[in-house]
Structure 1
Amino acid sequence: MRSRFLLESVLLALLGGACACQSPPDTTDVAEEAPIPLTIDVTDALGRTVTVPMRPSRVLSLAPNLTELVYGVGAGDRLAGASQADDFPPAVDSLPRFSTFPLEPEGLVVLQPDLLLATDEINSPTDADRLADLGMPTYFFTFATVADVPAAMRTLGDLMGTDAMPAAQAFEARVEAVQSRVAGAARPRTLLIIGDDVLYAFGEASYASEAVRIAGGENLTDAFEGRAATLSDEWVLQAAPETIVVLAGDDYDPAQLLERHPTWRLLPAVQNSRVVGLNPDWLSRPGPRLVDGIEALAAVLHPDRVPPA
């Protein structure tokens, strides 16, 4: 009996000692996890502070080039609709449509967007406050240079939470390849026009004029300040372009140009059969396909250095 009592006493002592050695967990240094913010303040290209969702899920693009850029950075599945002007990529065909010309805010509200994307080349910044009052924050982009396109890709990647770096770097590499191929070549006097009726063109401050320069041409409408210009027949005759590029499709018939501007028969470009048409979307939309336009321009201006695609 005494031995049993001693054994129990020893076991209790051992158990008690073990319990005494284990101190309760110290929670004084454990900080509470901060909640993940649902929105973030960003500064757009117009210098406006815009509160946007951390990961927008219902996005509307108010310009076709921005739609193409959203797809280009792998965020096409976030688009909740497409404008009546959107026609590329083909995936836009399955999206609900809304109007931007004129802009109809009610049509946007129905699609319940949490972020709108706009560009000051097409959309009016004065609409931003009205749209924000309706619960639709608007982030504005601007495209004055070719480099603004890959920059916009990176910005969209940040806004959407996608990896835009490969697309941006691929765009930049193709532009650099064109520059390398045409370096040192003579620069033909080049006239880039948007159509063949009213002679709309790009001014010196436009990304499209820079595209001509990158492609190895002397861009004649650099004579006009700003982003846009309207030309006269007299000005074109005096400028005497050696190459005329019309943004009217690659099946454009140069005879149509002479029907509307018969005095142009005297131009070097006409006399030497150097009037060509290109896909208008390549150069009129500063998006992923702008580099296609630069390569096509380079192939027209320097076929010995840049083979056609």
Structure 2
Amino acid sequence: MRIVSLLPSATEIICALGAHQGNICTLVGISHSCDYPAEICDLDVLTSTRVPVHETQLVIDQFVRQEMAAGRGLYALDIEKLAELRADVIVTQTLCDVCAVSSGDVYQAVADLPGDCKLVELAPSCLDDVYDDIIRVGDAVYAGSEARQLVMQLRERAEAVSRQQILNGDKVLFLEWLDPPFSGGHWIPDLIDILGGTSCLVKAGQRSGTLSWQAITECDPDIIVVGCCGYSLEESEAALHLLADHAPWLSLRAVREGNVIVGDGNAHFSRAGPRLIDGLEELAANLLAARSTLPGA
């Protein structure tokens, strides 16, 4: 079976199941955003982006809004290369046209392909959906048993974090973009709940969305987590420095008291795959470390 993944999270799921280079299944094509694990980075790349990813967050946001309003796609799919790869299974997404190639483009490409190609579409809204998608992908690539075992392990790891109840109802604001500020939605509130906290300004299953600084200051969270979508830890830290003189940001209690945690959004929070639990565990470790430095700890 020849597999194409047009989504980084799907690529990570396929690899976690060992279905990328087995005797039965082989991953033959990926998206331009797929970068983990490193062993897949030499595969054929089937997508490209028009988003100016090296610009500031404000410029990127303005470009995306402008192009989406005009009905212009942000990504291109190499249909000729896709046909050459003769995929038996293509994994894509219907969740967000800002994050990956649009489902409409994929539908058209698959319709024009010769032979019988199965399309697996992912659209997780919460953590349970992520677990379900791992099983769906596993079933599609003859790794159903491995998928169920992986989900059981991920649930056990999440439960181990939950038992600690590190946060005692603390209000947590997760920011997945800073200029303008965006809430971390979908599965992020689930992660906060597992930690024992309360998600600010967005509930589990809700889409990420633009926040006003007024809403943020009125909420005045106890803890702020910054994990910019598609950004590494270092890139998120660099973006955060741009708020060094931003009055509404500096007025927040969490900022004044040093309760701001920066994470690797690209690896641990943006992608609906197994590494979400890595991000959960990392958050737990950072929160425990912060608590241990408090007076009287």
Q: Same fold per TM (> 0.5)? A: yes
Matches within 5 A, 1:65-104: 65-77=9-21, 78-99=26-47, 101-104=75-78
Out of 187, 191, 202, the residue aligned to residue 222 of structure 1 is 202
Q: What is the Cα deviation at residue 228 of structure 1?
A: 1.6
Identity %: 26
Q: 2-side partners of 1:288 and 1:225: how far apart?
A: 18
Question: 1:200–1:229: 8 Å Cα contact kept in structure 2?
Answer: yes
TM (norm. structure 1) is 0.72
Name the aligned partner's letter for residue 170 of structure 1: Q
- Specify every segment of 5 or more residues in structure 1 that has no aligned partner in the other structure, as ranges: 1-56
Note the C-alpha offset of 1:255.
6.3
Query: Scaled by the length of structure 2, what TM-score is found?
Result: 0.75
Q: Please name the residue that 1:232 is paired with.
A: 212
Are 1:150 and 1:169, in contact at CA under 8 Å, matched by a contact in 2?
A: no
Alpha-carbon distance change, 225 to 214 in structure 1, aligned in 2, over 3 angstroms: closer
Q: CA RMSD in A?
A: 2.5
Match of 2:177 among 182, 186, 195: 195
**Alignment partner of 2:158 out of 158, 166, 175:** 175
Larger radius of gyration: 1
Equivalent of 2:142 in 135, 146, 161: 161
* Kept in 1: contact 2:125–2:205 (CA 8 A): no
Task: Give per-residue Cα distances to partners, 1:94-129, cap 9 Å, x unaligned.
Answer: 211111522332331122212110121245343454
Partners of 2:274 and 2:138 in 1: CA distance:
14
SS at match of 1:259: coil
Inter-CA distance 138–276: structure 2 relative to 1 (3 Å threshold): same
Cα 1:81–1:253 shift into 2, 3 Å: closer
Secondary structure at 1:155's aligned position in 2?
helix
Distance 2:43 2:28 in 1: 7
Q: Which amino acid aligns with 2:108?
A: R
Q: 1:120 corresponds to which letter in structure 2?
A: T
- Shift of the 285–160 alpha-carbon distance from structure 1 to 2, 3 Å rule, reads same
SS class of match (2:243)? helix
Structure 1 position 139, deviation (Å): 1.3
Taking a change above 3 Å as real, the CA distance of residues 292 and 59 of structure 1, as seen in their structure-2 partners, is: same
Q: Which residue of 1 aligns with 2:295?
A: none
Q: Is the 8 A contact 1:83 1:99 kept in 2?
A: yes
Q: How many residue pairs end up in the alignment?
A: 247
Deviations 1:29-75 (A, max 9, x none): xxxxxxxxxxxxxxxxxxxxxxxxxxxx1111111000000001110
